[in-house]
C-alpha cells in the first residue's frame, strides 16, 4: 500500500498484525477457523500510545475529580462546581486538577476565593491551575490544617491575608511540591472504589483512542503499595490499556538506595504484554528536578546535582535498566547529557534506551547529543495550556 492508496484489510494472529493490504491479498490468508469481521468500510485507526502519562496514579483518583476540559466559560465551570459540591459526601473534597487553563474561559480569569467560599461554605474545594497555583476554600484550608504558622516548602508560597492567615492561594515559585503535597492530604477512595475509578479512567483513555501507555511514575506513588489496584485489574484481565510502568524514587537524598533495592528485587521487564515493568524514572534524583512553572524564572540546579545523578545513572546502566528523566529547560538538559556522556565513556549505553521528558526548550545541539546516545524525547502538550502566558 502507498501513502495515497489506503489499506482495506488486515490480518491478525495471536494479537499481532501479520498483514496489511488490499482485500484480495489479505483474504488469501483465511482458513477454516478464521473469524472475519466486516467493518462496512468504516475507517480503522491504530490505537494511540501515550509515551508519558500517569495512568496508575490518575486512576486511583479519577472518580474524585471534576473535569473542566473544554468548558467555555467560568460561569459554566462554577455551575458545574456547585453541582459537584452538592453531590460530594463528607469528608471528601471537590477537586479540579488538570486539563484546563484560564485562557479557555470567555472571562479570561480563574474563580476568586470569595466565589469558591460562596459556592462551597462547608465542602473542601481544591482547584489546581497548571503547575503554578492552587486555590483552596476555607473548608479545604481547615481540612489540611494550614494556619498562619504553617511554613511553606522551599520554592513555594502560602499566601497570607492582612491578618497573617492563609488566604487559600498556594503558589509554586517555582517548586510545585506545595501543590502535590497539599492535594495528597485529601481523603482517598476505598479500595473497591479505587478499582472502579481506575476502570473508568482507562475507559476515558480508550474513548480518545489510547490503547497503550508508558506510565512515568509520579510523586506520592509508592511501589509496590500504590500499584496493587492496577495489578489486581491485570490479574482479573480487566485492563483496557496496555501499561509499561517506570519506578519513580520518592525519597530525596535516598534515591540511590531506592534504585539499588529495585534492581535487586524487581526483574527488568517483569510482567507480560498487558502490564510490564519498563525501567527507572521519571524522577531519578530530586536535585535534578527543574520545575515547570513557566511563569517563574528558570531555576538553576544545585552544584551537587551531577555527582548525585552520575551515581544513580551508573547503577542503572550497569544493570541495563532503561531510564527516563524529567527535564524542562535546555540548560538543565545540557548538564544531564554531560553526565550521561561521562557514564557512557566508562560503561557504554550500547543500545540502552533512555528518555528526556518534556524538553520544551531543548536546542538542536542537544537533540543530536540525545540521538547519538540512543535516547528519545517525550514531549507533552504543556505549551498548549501555558504558551499564552509567554
In sequence order, what DSSP letters do the residues of 246-280 get, joined into one string? EE---STT-HHHHHHHHHHHS-TT-B-SSEEEEEE
pLDDT tens readout for residues 160-177: 999 999 999 999 999 998
Task: Answer positive or negative: Cα dihedral of 309, 313, 315, 321.
Answer: positive
CA distance 122 to 254: 40
CA distance 316 to 233: 29
Residue with C-alpha cell 489479505?
26
Whole-model pTM: value is: 0.90
Residues 293 and 173: beta-carbon distance below 8 Å? yes
Q: Where are the beta strands (DSSP E) in the chain?
A: 9-13, 16-21, 48-53, 94-96, 125-129, 133-136, 156-160, 166-172, 210-215, 242-247, 275-280, 323-327, 354-358, 376-378
Whether the pLDDT of residue 388 is over 80: the answer is no
Whether the pLDDT of residue 3 is over 70: the answer is no
Three-class SS state of 47? coil
Angle at 11 between CA 5 and CA 17, to 5 degrees: 90
Residues 373 and 349: beta-carbon distance below 8 Å? yes
Most distant pair of Cα atoms in the chain: their distance: 81
Whether the pLDDT of residue 145 is over 90: the answer is yes
Cα 58 to its chain centre, rounded Å, is 8
Per the structure block, which three cell numbers stand in for 141?
A: 484550608
Residue with C-alpha cell 490505537?
47
Q: What is the pLDDT of residue 2?
A: 58
Angle at 125 between CA 123 and CA 129, to 5 degrees: 175
Q: How far is CA 230 from each of CA 18, 242, 281, 316, 332, rounded to the nearest angstrom?
A: 30, 11, 19, 25, 33
Whether the pLDDT of residue 88 is over 60: the answer is yes
pLDDT tens readout for residues 258-285: 999 999 999 999 999 999 999 999 999 9
Per the structure block, which three cell numbers stand in for 170?
A: 498556594
Q: What is the pLDDT of residue 74?
A: 98
Quote the percentage of the chain above a pLDDT of 70: 99
Q: What is the mean pLDDT of the chain?
A: 95
Question: Of the ranges 159-163, 229-233, 293-297, 340-344, which one carries the lowest mean pLDDT score?
Answer: 293-297
Amino acid at each position: 500500500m502507498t501513502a495515497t492508496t489506503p489499506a482495506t484489510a488486515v490480518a491478525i494472529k495471536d494479537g499481532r498484525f501479520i498483514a496489511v493490504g488490499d482485500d484480495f491479498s489479505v483474504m488469501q490468508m483465511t482458513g477454516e477457523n478464521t473469524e472475519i469481521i466486516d467493518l462496512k468500510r468504516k475507517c480503522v485507526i491504530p490505537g494511540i500510545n501515550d509515551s508519558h502519562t500517569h495512568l496508575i496514579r490518575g486512576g486511583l483518583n479519577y472518580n474524585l475529580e471534576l473535569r473542566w476540559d473544554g468548558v467555555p466559560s467560568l460561569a459554566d465551570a462554577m455551575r458545574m462546581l456547585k453541582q459537584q459540591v452538592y453531590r460530594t459526601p463528607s469528608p471528601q473534597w471537590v477537586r479540579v486538577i488538570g486539563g484546563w487553563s484560564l485562557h479557555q474561559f470567555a472571562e479570561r480569569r480563574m474563580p476568586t476565593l470569595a466565589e469558591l467560599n460562596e459556592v462551597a461554605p462547608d465542602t473542601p474545594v481544591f482547584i489546581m491551575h497548571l503547575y503554578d497555583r492552587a486555590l483552596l476554600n476555607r473548608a479545604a484550608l481547615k481540612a489540611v490544617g494550614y494556619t498562619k504558622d504553617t511554613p511553606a516548602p522551599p520554592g513555594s508560597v502560602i499566601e497570607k491575608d492582612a491578618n497573617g492567615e492563609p488566604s487559600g492561594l498556594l503558589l509554586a515559585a517555582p517548586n510545585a511540591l506545595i501543590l502535590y503535597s497539599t492535594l495528597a492530604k485529601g481523603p482517598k477512595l476505598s479500595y473497591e472504589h479505587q478499582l472502579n475509578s481506575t476502570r473508568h479512567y482507562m475507559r476515558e483513555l480508550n474513548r480518545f483512542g489510547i490503547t497503550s501507555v508508558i506510565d512515568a511514575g509520579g510523586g506520592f506513588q509508592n511501589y509496590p503499595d500504590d500499584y496493587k489496584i492496577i495489578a489486581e485489574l491485570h490479574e482479573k484481565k480487566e485492563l483496557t490499556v496496555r501499561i509499561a510502568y517506570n519506578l519513580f524514587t520518592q525519597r530525596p537524598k535516598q534515591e540511590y538506595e531506592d534504585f539499588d533495592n529495585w534492581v535487586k528485587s524487581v526483574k527488568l521487564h517483569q510482567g507480560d504484554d498487558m502490564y510490564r515493568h519498563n525501567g527507572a524514572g521519571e524522577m531519578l534524583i530530586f536535585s535534578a528536578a527543574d520545575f515547570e512553572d513557566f511563569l517563574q524564572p528558570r531555576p538553576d540546579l544545585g552544584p551537587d546535582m551531577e555527582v548525585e545523578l552520575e551515581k544513580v545513572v551508573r547503577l542503572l546502566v550497569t544493570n541495563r535498566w532503561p531510564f527516563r528523566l524529567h527535564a524542562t529547560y535546555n540548560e538543565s538538559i545540557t548538564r544531564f547529557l554531560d553526565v550521561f556522556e561521562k557514564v557512557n565513556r566508562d560503561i557504554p549505553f550500547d543500545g540502552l534506551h533512555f528518555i528526556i521528558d518534556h524538553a520544551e526548550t531543548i536546542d538542536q545541539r542537544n537533540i543530536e547529543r540525545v540521538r547519538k546516545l540512543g535516547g528519545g524525547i517525550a514531549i507533552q502538550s504543556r505549551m498548549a495550556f501555558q504558551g499564552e502566558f509567554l
